[in-house]
């Protein structure tokens, strides 16, 4: 076992060596522009792009014709949300989402609110689950889009996409899902789930960074979007710009590997997740699981350790890479907005750690992590007067704190 140990697979994944191998010829040998239709260099590049499209589509039960390439899931989310809002603005300006979406979904909604759109953020329960009844009641005649993520990047909770899709289809409203964390990890089927738009990213599933895609339904219904990037009309006019052929080839190979290994990998990751959880809860008290106990991504474990500060704990386990809060916003020391939405108090939100497991995580690494985290938590709690008071049976909520 080598140190440091990487347990932040929800933030990004290492590129699989098999993916790198597939990409290499496209840097130096097959380097044509996929939009160059006059010579074999362009044709070969286009052929590789087309093959990757088909692979990405097959993983969600559709054809490559419905895949639009982007620079990543942030751009995919922006194209889906802003594109639908702009194209359908005469039909309606009401959108439904949830408060625990990724910032790449939340921020476009805040922008749209400034443009006069009305966004309803559904409530979530303590596990991060929406109410399907509340969703259906929130739909209005002017609702144009429902956007709810596949799996949450912080707490791992998976949404009931099939049930959501049944409701949106019944009411004739478009359904977008940010599947960045779910794509390649859990089975997705856009037909069965009635998904109209789906965002995905290569670097969350052992592909390269800087390449993503958006599934856009072509029929029943045909989804129409206004572009937010203008240029040569690439990607069915939805996303202009020279295609990142090398990245696309890598994305396609990553999807192919996920298709082959998803079921066995999920089973293995759930085993590792359970092993770490059990080892920690045997050694420590006041450990709280954030997110749904079972309806969650196979590779995510988010725990709060009572009477311990998350940043101190991360420093205490310096040779293990984990995150507190969301990786994309971890520069701020505010408690996670996702955990706050679940009703988790600031003290526990501040003590949360996200463990993300992946293809290259070993049992030895899990066991080492359990030992290191347990001893760090015990060490920090020894310095905590609050933990001492709790052990003595004092109810902290009844304590009158004196201010000087």
Query: Model confidence over 356-387: pLDDT tens digits?
Result: 999 999 999 999 999 999 999 999 999 988 88
β-strands 67-70, 94-97: how paired? unpaired
- Provide the CATH number for the domain formed by 5-9+263-376 in this structure: 3.90.1150.10
* Residue of 238, 232, 227 whose CA lies nearest to 36: 232
pLDDT for 332 = 57
Give the pLDDT confidence of 247-299 residue by residue, as tens digits. Answer: 999 999 999 999 999 999 999 999 999 999 999 999 999 999 999 999 999 99
Query: Is the model's pLDDT at 195 over the cut of 90?
Result: yes
pLDDT cut 70: percent of the chain above it: 97
Q: Give the per-residue pLDDT at 331.
A: 52
User: Which has the minimum average pLDDT: 112-126, 212-226, 338-352?
Assistant: 338-352
Summarize the confidence of residues 40-62 as an average pLDDT.
98
* Integer Cα distance of 351 and 220 in angstroms: 46
User: Token digits for 30?
Assistant: 């097959």
Q: Give the pLDDT of residue 326.
A: 41
Residue 334 gets which letter from DSSP? S
Q: Which range, of 22-31, 250-259, 318-327, 335-344, averages the lowest pLDDT?
A: 318-327
Q: 147-151, 162-166, 299-303, 396-400: which range is least confident on average?
A: 396-400
Name the band, by pLDDT with cuts 50, 70 and 90, for residue 327.
very low
Q: State pLDDT tens for residues 52-62.
A: 999 999 999 99
Average pLDDT of the chain to the nearest whole number: 94
Residue 328 has pLDDT above 50, yes or no: no
Class of domain 17-257 as given by CATH? alpha beta
- Cα–Cα distance for residue pair 210/207, rounded to 1 Å: 9
- Catalytic residue check, 328: yes
Q: Tell me what the mean pLDDT of segment 82-93 comes to.
A: 97
Q: Where are the domains of the chain?
A: 5-9+263-376, 17-257
Catalytic-role residue among 259, 262, 314, 328 = 328
Contact 64, 56 (CB under 8 A): yes
Q: How far apart are CA 70 and CA 43, in angstroms?
A: 20
Say yes or no to pLDDT of 333 above 70. no
Looking at per-residue pLDDT, the higher value among 274 and 237 belongs to 274
For the segment 121-137, the average pLDDT, to the nearest whole number, is: 97
């Amino acid at each position: 076992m080598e140190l440091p140990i990487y347990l932040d697979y929800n933030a990004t994944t290492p590129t699989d060596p098999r993916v790198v191998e597939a990409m290499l010829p496209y840097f130096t040998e097959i380097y044509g522009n996929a939009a160059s239709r006059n010579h074999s260099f362009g044709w070969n590049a286009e052929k590789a792009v087309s093959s990757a499209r088909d692979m990405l589509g097959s993983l969600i039960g559709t054809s490559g014709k419905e895949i639009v390439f982007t620079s990543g899931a942030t751009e995919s989310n922006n194209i889906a949300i802003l594109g639908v809002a702009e194209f359908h603005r005469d039909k309606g300006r009401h959108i439904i989402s949830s408060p625990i979406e990724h910032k790449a979904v939340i921020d476009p909604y805040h922008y749209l609110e400034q443009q006069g759109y009305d966004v309803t953020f559904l409530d979530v329960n303590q596990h991060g689950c929406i109410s399907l009844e509340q969703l259906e009641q929130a739909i209005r005649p002017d609702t144009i889009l429902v956007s709810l993520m596949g799996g949450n990047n912080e707490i791992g909770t998976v949404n009931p996409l099939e049930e959501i899709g049944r409701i949106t289809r019944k009411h004739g409203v478009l359904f977008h899902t940010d599947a960045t964390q779910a794509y390649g990890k859990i089975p997705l089927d856009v037909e069965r789930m009635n998904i109209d738009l789906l965002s995905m990213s290569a670097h969350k599933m052992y592909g390269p960074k800087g390449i993503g895609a958006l599934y856009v339904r072509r029929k029943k219904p045909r989804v129409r979007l206004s572009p937010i990037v203008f240029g040569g009309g690439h990607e069915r006019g939805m996303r202009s710009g020279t295609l990142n052929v090398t990245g696309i080839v890598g994305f396609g190979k990553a999807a192919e590997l996920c298709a082959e290994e998803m079921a066995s990998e999920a089973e293995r990751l759930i085993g590792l997740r359970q092993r770490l959880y059990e080892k920690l809860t045997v050694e420590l008290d006041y450990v709280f699981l954030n997110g749904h106990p079972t309806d969650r991504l196979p590779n995510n474990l988010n725990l709060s350790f009572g009477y311990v500060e998350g940043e101190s704990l991360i420093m205490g386990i310096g040779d293990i890479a984990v995150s507190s809060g969301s990786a994309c916003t971890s520069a701020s020391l505010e408690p996670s907005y996702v955990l706050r939405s679940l009703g988790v108090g600031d003290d526990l939100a501040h003590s949360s750690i996200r463990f993300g497991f992946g293809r290259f995580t070993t049992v030895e690494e899990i066991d080492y992590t359990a030992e290191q985290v347990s001893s760090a938590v015990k060490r920090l709690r020894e310095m905590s007067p609050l933990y001492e008071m709790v052990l003595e049976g004092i109810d902290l909520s009844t304590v009158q704190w004196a201010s000087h």
